[in-house]
Every structure is written in C-alpha cells, then in structure tokens.
C-alpha cells in the first residue's frame, strides 16, 4: 500500500496566489530539503504520520470543498504525492501544488496548478533554484518570489526579465515582519512590471497561529 507522511490536513481559506480568499483544503506533507531563513513551517521538517491514499482521501471528502492544495515542507520529495494529486483530479477536485522551484515538476499531472517558489537571496537557498523547470510549466501555473529586502526585489525583477516569466502569473510577496507590505507594493508599482503583489492573507486573519490556518 502506498503511503505518504502527512504533517496535517485542515480546511481553511487560501492565503496566497491568485486563489487567495477561496475556501481550501490543505494537505501538508512532511520533510523539506531546504532551510530557508524565513521558513514559517519548520514543524513540517520531521513531524508527521504515515497515511495511505484511501485514508487521506476519506479525510478530504469530509470537507465541503473541491479546492485542495498540497504543500509542505516540499511535497515533491515524496513520490506518492504525484499519485495523490492524480487521485484528487480523478475525483473532481481542483488541485494546487506549492513547490520550491528546486525539484523537477515534469511528472506532476498537467491539470494541477503549480505555484513555483523560486528562492531569493535572503532565503539562503538561492543556489537550489532549478530554472530549467520553467520549460515544464503550464499556462495556468504561477511563480512566486518571497521578498525580504530591496536587493531581493531587484534580483527578482532581473530574473523575471531574464527568464521571460511574465508568460505566467508572477507573485511578489513580502516576508512577514521583514518588509512592510506597503513598501513592497510601492516597489512593484514603481517598477512598471505587471506582476501581482500579494500578502499572506492567513497571517492577517489569524496572527500568531502556526498550524492549521
């Protein structure tokens, strides 16, 4: 029986991406190979329990929602995540995948909406970015840059231009309590780039909460 190590499954409101504000079921998988300086889900590095696909799907079906996101940690470290995404699609769910931009996405079902998080300099993990995976993106996928400084912003603008990323939705998000949202919004406006400014909506709705929001 195929199993996945699951950190938590919960029903909340999507806090990021173009789907922000939509009710969403979250499946957080255990384990991550990166150690970003600003990580807010370190509890997902090791904590979790093995669950079979049927057990996971039974929990998902109990919620009155057809939007599901796989997140982590890094979901693609577990090979069973691809099977889970396909099963969810087969059952009529709209599936989002939050992934780090450092692992291949070629095996991810095409209908999954991927949110690829390329790591900026302040993350300390920029060397892990695999820009070749841009060639495997679908038109409905999204790219995210988490901004912790003006240097991060300028670097992100360069990457967006260099890699011709405006073929997709590009998200610029401030690191919580590192960059004032209004300041990043001004940088975006002044740049003239048609990127999408976003905040982590859940951190404004449930400040101080770490899990299950």
Buried-exposed string 141-155: b where 16+ CB fall within 10 A, e elsewhere: bbbbbbbbeeebbeb
Buried-exposed string 1-24: b where 16+ CB fall within 10 A, e elsewhere: eeebbbbbbebbebbbbbbbeeeb
| pLDDT of res. 206 | 75
| pLDDT of res. 52 | 97
| pLDDT of res. 156 | 98
pLDDT tens digits along 66-81: 999 999 999 999 999 9
- Whole-Å CA distances, 126 to 27, 75, 141, 209: 26, 19, 21, 28
Is the pLDDT score of 203 beyond 80?
Answer: no
pLDDT tens digits along 151-187: 999 999 999 999 999 999 999 999 988 899 999 999 9
**How do the domains of the chain map onto residue ranges?**
3-205
3-class state of residue 12 by DSSP: strand
- Whole-Å CA distances, 173 to 43, 45, 46, 102: 22, 23, 26, 19
| pLDDT of res. 200 | 84
Confidence tier at 212 by pLDDT (50, 70, 90): low
CATH 3.20.20.70 is right for the domain spanning 3-205: yes
pLDDT tens digits along 110-139: 999 999 999 999 999 999 999 999 999 999
3-class state of residue 205 by DSSP: helix
Structure tokens at 143: 């790219």
Q: Is the pTM of this model over 0.85?
A: yes
pLDDT tens digits along 19-55: 999 999 999 999 999 999 998 889 999 999 999 999 9
Is the pLDDT score of 204 beyond 90?
Answer: no
**Beta carbons of 32 and 42 less than 8 angstroms apart:** no
| pLDDT of res. 177 | 80
pLDDT tens digits along 58-114: 999 999 999 999 999 999 999 999 999 999 999 999 999 999 999 999 999 999 999
């Amino acid at each position: 029986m195929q199993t996945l190590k699951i950190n938590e499954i919960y029903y909340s409101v999507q806090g990021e991406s173009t789907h922000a504000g939509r009710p969403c079921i979250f499946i957080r998988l255990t384990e991550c190979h990166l150690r970003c300086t600003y990580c807010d889900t370190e509890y997902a590095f090791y904590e979790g329990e093995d669950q079979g696909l049927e057990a996971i799907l039974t929990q998902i079906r109990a919620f009155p929602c057809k939007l599901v996101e796989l997140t982590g940690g890094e979901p693609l470290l577990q090979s069973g995540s691809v099977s889970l995404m396909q099963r969810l699609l087969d059952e009529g769910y709209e599936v989002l995948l939050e992934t780090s931009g450092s692992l291949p996405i070629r095996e991810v079902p095409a209908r999954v909406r991927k949110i690829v998080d390329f790591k900026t300099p302040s993350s300390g993990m920029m060397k892990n970015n695999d820009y070749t995976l841009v060639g495997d993106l679908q038109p409905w996928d999204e790219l995210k840059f988490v901004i912790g400084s003006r240097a991060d912003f300028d670097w992100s603008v360069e990457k967006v231009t260099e890699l011709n990323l405006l073929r997709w939705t590009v998200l610029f998000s401030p690191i919580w309590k590192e960059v004032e949202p209004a300041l990043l919004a001004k940088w975006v406006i002044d740049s003239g780039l048609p990127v999408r400014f976003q905040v982590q909506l859940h951190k404004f709705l449930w400040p101080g909460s770490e899990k299950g929001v």
